[in-house]
C-alpha cells in the first residue's frame, strides 16, 4: 500500500527517517515551512531555510525513493517580529513561484493577536495572487477561538474555501469546519493532538471526503510513521483498502493538485540513484551508493 505524507518537517529528521518512511510505503511528502524551535533573528536565516526546502531536502528525499514537495509561508510564531516579518513577506513571492512549491503555508494563528492576523491576511492574498492552495495552522491554545477567527478571515479575504485545509483539528474543532467547504486536516502524535484510534473514530463519524491525515513530525516528540500507522488502524477497524488509499494517498495529492504542480499520476516512487550529488554533496557519508535501473 502506498501513502502520501502531507505535513512533515523532514529538515528536522534524519536519513533513517526517510529510509523508514520508504519501507512503510510512503512515496511522497509535503514539507511546510516551519519555525526552528527558537526565534530567527535575521532575514538570511529565512533565505537559507527556504532554499533548503526547494533544494537540498528535495534532493535528499529522492535519494531514498520519496518525492518531496513543500509549502512556503511565514509561520504565525514568527509573525510577531514586525520588522523581520515584513522582510520575509518581500521574499515569499519569489519562492511561491518555484517548482515543487504546492501551497502557501503553514500560516494562521499562534497567540491569536492582531499582528499575526495582519500577516495571515497578507499571505491569504498571496495565495489568491499565485492561485495556490493554503495550509492553515490552528493554534495549540484557545483552539476554538483560533479556528473561528481563521474561518472568518478566509471568508473576509475572499479565498475559495475549497483551496484551504484547516490543520491540527480535533474533536473540539472539527465541526466548526465541516460545513464551510474547507478541507479538514488532522495531525497524529504519539501522546498529544490525535491518536490513531481517535482518528479512526473521526473518519467513521465524519466520513472520508476532504480529509487529510499527517504526522506533523518535526524536531520535537513526534513519529514520522503515523500516516502508515493510521492506515493499519483503519484496516483493523474495517475500512477497505480503497478507503485507506483515498484518505492517505489520493485526498492530500488531490488537494495540493489545485496548485497545478502535483498530480496523482506524477506521484510514483522514483528510481534511486545515490551516485548523484547536490552541489557536490552526498547524503551517504562514504557508503556504497544504491543505483536502481529499469522501471519500478
pLDDT range class, residue 295, cuts 50, 70, 90: low
pLDDT range class, residue 194, cuts 50, 70, 90: confident
pLDDT range class, residue 67, cuts 50, 70, 90: very high
- Are 9 and 224 in contact, with CB atoms under 8 Å apart? no
- Determine the CATH number of domain 3-259: 3.20.20.140
Picking from 13, 106, 94, 18, the residue whose alpha carbon sits closest to that of residue 51 is 94
Give yes or no for residue 17 having a pLDDT over 80: yes
Q: What is the pLDDT of residue 205?
A: 97
Give yes or no for residue 296 having a pLDDT over 70: no
Q: What is the pLDDT of residue 143?
A: 86
- Segment 58-77 mean pLDDT: 96
- Segment 145-174 mean pLDDT: 96
Q: How many residues does the chain have?
A: 296
Cell of 46: 529565512
Residue 1 gets which letter from DSSP?
Answer: -
Q: Burial level of 269, CB count in 10 A (0-12/13-18/19+)?
A: middle
Picking from 171, 107, 181, 164, the residue whose alpha carbon sits closest to that of residue 139 is 107
Q: pLDDT averaged over the chain? A: 94
Q: What is the pLDDT of residue 280?
A: 85
> pTM for the full model?
0.95
Amino acid at each position: 500500500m502506498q501513502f502520501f505524507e502531507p505535513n512533515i518537517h523532514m529538515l528536522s529528521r534524519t536519513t533513517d527517517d526517510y529510509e523508514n518512511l520508504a519501507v512503510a510505503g510512503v512515496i511522497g511528502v509535503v514539507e511546510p515551512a516551519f519555525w526552528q524551535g527558537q526565534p530567527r533573528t535575521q532575514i538570511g536565516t529565512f533565505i537559507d531555510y527556504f532554499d533548503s526546502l526547494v533544494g537540498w531536502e528535495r534532493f535528499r528525499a529522492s535519494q531514498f525513493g520519496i518525492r518531496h514537495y513543500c509549502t512556503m509561508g511565514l509561520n504565525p510564531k514568527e509573525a510577531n517580529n514586525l520588522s523581520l516579518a515584513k522582510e520575509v513577506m518581500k521574499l515569499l513571492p519569489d519562492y511561491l513561484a518555484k517548482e515543487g512549491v504546492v501551497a502557501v503555508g503553514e500560516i494562521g494563528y499562534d497567540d491569536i493577536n492582531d499582528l499575526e492576523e495582519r500577516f495571515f491576511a497578507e499571505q491569504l492574498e498571496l495565495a489568491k495572487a499565485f492561485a495556490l492552495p493554503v495550509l492553515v495552522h490552528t493554534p495549540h491554545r484557545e483552539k476554538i477561538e483560533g479556528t473561528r477567527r481563521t474561518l472568518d478571515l478566509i471568508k473576509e479575504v475572499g479565498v475559495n474555501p475549497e483551496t484551504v485545509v484547516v490543520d491540527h483539528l480535533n474533536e473540539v474543532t472539527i465541526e466548526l469546519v465541516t460545513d464551510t467547504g474547507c478541507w479538514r486536516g488532522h495531525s497524529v502524535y504519539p501522546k498529544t493532538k490525535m491518536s490513531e484510534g481517535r482518528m479512526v473514530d473521526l473518519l467513521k463519524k465524519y466520513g472520508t471526503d476532504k480529509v487529510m491525515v499527517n504526522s506533523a513530525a518535526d524536531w520535537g516528540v513526534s513519529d514520522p510513521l503515523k500516516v502508515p500507522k493510521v492506515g493499519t488502524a483503519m484496516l483493523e477497524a474495517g475500512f477497505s483498502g480503497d478507503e485507506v488509499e483515498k484518505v492517505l494517498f489520493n485526498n492530500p495529492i488531490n488537494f495540493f493538485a489545485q496548485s497545478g504542480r502535483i498530480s496523482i499520476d506524477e506521484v510514483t516512487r522514483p528510481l534511486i540513484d545515490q551516485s548523484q550529488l547536490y552541489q557536490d554533496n552526498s547524503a551517504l557519508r562514504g557508503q556504497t551508493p544504491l543505483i536502481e535501473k529499469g522501471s519500478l
